[in-house]
Structure 1
């Protein structure tokens, strides 16, 4: 990436958004925002209880992330957000048209294993099936790249940086 975009690190729970996001931000020298911090308390309580969010729960959360991304336009930034559905990504792009997505992808068993070893996170592994059922991968007309998460955080970050550089080169 040559220009300061806002990168949305997306994917189902447990793919490493909270790990890769800050590493990408550090690599680019831009701020990182944790998408979970934009959730209202009612959303966190719902997920903590093992209840998936519905679209009505997600709209205010996505709008808050979109507002942050809009404020970083031209300056750059990295924010995490599951952004599982095309309509969610469209909403983020409506607020901040220049966002690009890094979709962290991986084998369900690997992701479940990682989730089972996390401490202090409100998202239970029981919601992983609903995350995969909701997931609509990036489409070819969406600005972004998919990066597989089986490597180390550093390897995943380097793959994302390389893929984003290729994306910038392809759009120039």
Structure 2
């Protein structure tokens, strides 16, 4: 994981991967907040955009998973593959009857990201995100949309706060020491 005290020389691909990773985190925060609004039923104005929001969540997962910077290849693989499995499950379920399952896999990815970031940087509430996302998946499975909505909104606020902090950091904070990465 990143070592903020060490400043690695970044090439263009490094900078691009960090920006795409951060864009994925930002996209998740925004799309998760929209999904929580849709699930809450407060307004039916966004209900017709639920597929677009699910696409945004999937895109955010793909961006973050494809560009995550973790030294351990086994941890990196677990985080990445859960995103791809979630995206494939979402694509294979056009009626969204098992949306809790596909979101559950995607939430594993962002739970891993939240834990990774909590070890690297001190961000308030970040260690609670895996619990909130797991509870929201369970709530979706139990068809408790309002509970899932509240849990997702809380997660979205914490992840949004993380996104703001990440965009303020220098890019080399995300890379750490390149020589430490397992290939």
The structure carrying a bigger helix percent of its residues is: 2
The structure carrying a bigger strand percent of its residues is: 1
Give TM-score, length-normalised by structure 1: 0.29
Larger Rg, first or second structure (1 or 2): 2
Give TM-score, length-normalised by structure 2: 0.28
